[in-house]
Structure 1
Amino acid sequence: MTDQPVSSPSAPASQWNIPNAITVSRLVMTFMLLGLMSATDWWITAAVLFIVAAISDAVDGYLARKWNQITTLGRILDPFVDKILVGGAFIFLTAQPESGVTPWLTFAVIAREMFITGLRSMMEQQGIDFSAKLSGKLKMALQSVTAPVCLLSLSRPFLVWLGNWAPQFEILRDVLLWGTLVITVYSGVEYTWRAWVISRKSASHIQVD
């Protein structure tokens, strides 16, 4: 016996652990979600599935830190799955005009993700910590709220259930969409500025040496 609690292992036995298993399950849920979105009249189910998938993102990250099970696989797989979940949802929503999601909004979301992913990869290859900051976390949180709201706005039974509150719900959706656009662009600019500042500092150190 040891003094280490069984529920909180100090180190991962392998790349395949519970947090990574949750991440893989989120990937499966993402494909199920996209399948539901390609059909019709499954908007409420799709919204619920998106919410569950988004919650699992917070859970796997929490468990990985708590149990000290942060792995290379998890660091690669987790953001990859997040991008498929959010990007895929917005792409499918773009095909539904009543969702409120416009092509330029989806372009902004996907372009930001692709650019920052490449930028992060470049910085980390140089041994520079380029982990997520508050704006990036807020961006993901707002996108995770906006997508299911847009899905619910496509459900006629849900809007009928809201009754007189349906117009206000659609206003809320539009506000969230604009908020998503603003925080997505802002976080992209912030990360780019941060990378530029770090690169200048690194270059100045090299010149001094």
Structure 2
Amino acid sequence: MEQENNNPMTTAPATATASPWNVPNLLTSIRLVLAIAVIALIAMHWYGWAFIAFVVAASTDWVDGFYARRYGQVTKLGRIFDPFVDKIVICGAFIALVEIAGSGIAAWMAIVVVARELLVTSLRGLIEGGGGDFSASQLGKWKMVLQCVAVGAVLLCLMQTEPADWLQWLRLGSIWGAVALTVYSGFDYVVAAARIMNTDQSAQ
């Protein structure tokens, strides 16, 4: 039997019926503007400002998620809008950096990142549209972290005429690590989706 929780500091239950006009969705909207700014700043070769905008955008992703769960402000709009903006932030940055000489990001890497996001989004829409749960896994979250590190390291290198050796190694390692984890997490999601769909078919 569950006991009543009187601690005001504990996480409030999330609800999909909360108003879409709330703090988490406002932060997500700001993150969308920042994502567009990052792409534009990279195109203009203003790497310092692009780095700042990217760091703020990546930080608000954690803040709005935490706030939504803690105060029960998870909405249907937020469940769609938040991951959509996440994809704009990462995919947009990778695509914008492809044409920058010395970024270390090749076109095929950006294609892998975009293709994985499209695949997972399609699977999530298929499963959750049928009433299933296809929330982000821990592997997917770590993939996002490594992708953010890779973009940040690339921008830091581009800001300097002669980046330090450790920074160049960080850029190289994080890029390849992000690509590898992107592929692996995509495969993991495909396996999970197949398992859910097989379970649903067996239950029918």
Q: Report if TM-score (shorter chain) is over 0.5.
A: yes
Q: Within 1, Cα distance between the matches of 2:150 and 2:43?
A: 19
What residue in structure 1 maps to residue 3 of structure 2? Answer: none
1:19 matches 2:17: no
What residue in structure 2 maps to residue 68 of structure 1? Answer: 72
Greater Cα offset, 58-67 or 137-146: 137-146
What residue in structure 2 maps to residue 199 of structure 1? Answer: 197
From 129, 133, 152, the equivalent of 1:125 is 129
What residue in structure 2 maps to residue 32 of structure 1? Answer: 37
**1:70-105 deviations in whole A, cap 9, x for unaligned?**
001111110010101100000000001301001111
From 181, 185, 188, the equivalent of 2:186 is 188
Is contact 2:116–2:183 with CA below 8 Å preserved after alignment? yes
What residue in structure 2 maps to residue 169 of structure 1? Answer: 167
Aligned-residue sequence identity (percent) comes to 42
Is contact 1:124–1:130 with CA below 8 Å preserved after alignment? yes
- Please state how far the C-alpha of 1:31 moved relative to its aligned partner: 1.4
What residue in structure 2 maps to residue 96 of structure 1? Answer: 100
**1:31-76 deviations in whole A, cap 9, x for unaligned?**
1111111102x11221121011000000000000000000011111
What residue in structure 1 maps to residue 62 of structure 2? Answer: 58
Q: Within 2, Cα distance between the matches of 1:75 and 1:201?
A: 24
TM-score, structure 1 length as denominator? 0.88
- The root-mean-square deviation of aligned C-alpha atoms, in Å, is 2.0
SS of the equivalent of 2:132 reads coil
Which stretches of structure 1, 4 residues or more, deviate above 3 A after TM superposition? 8-13
- Please state how far the C-alpha of 1:168 moved relative to its aligned partner: 2.5
2:180 partner letter: V
SS of the equivalent of 1:154 reads helix
Q: Within 2, Cα distance between the matches of 1:87 and 1:51?
A: 15
In structure 1, stretches of 5+ residues that fail to align are none
1:148 matches 2:152: yes
What residue in structure 2 maps to residue 112 of structure 1? Answer: 116
**1:178-207 deviations in whole A, cap 9, x for unaligned?**
10011100100000001111111221222x
- Please state how far the C-alpha of 1:114 moved relative to its aligned partner: 0.5
Is contact 2:18–2:74 with CA below 8 Å preserved after alignment? no
**1:110-149 deviations in whole A, cap 9, x for unaligned?**
0000011011000001111000011100011111111111
Q: Report how many aligned residue pairs link the two structures.
A: 196
2:122 partner letter: G
Larger Rg: 1
**Larger helix proportion, structure 1 or 2?**
1
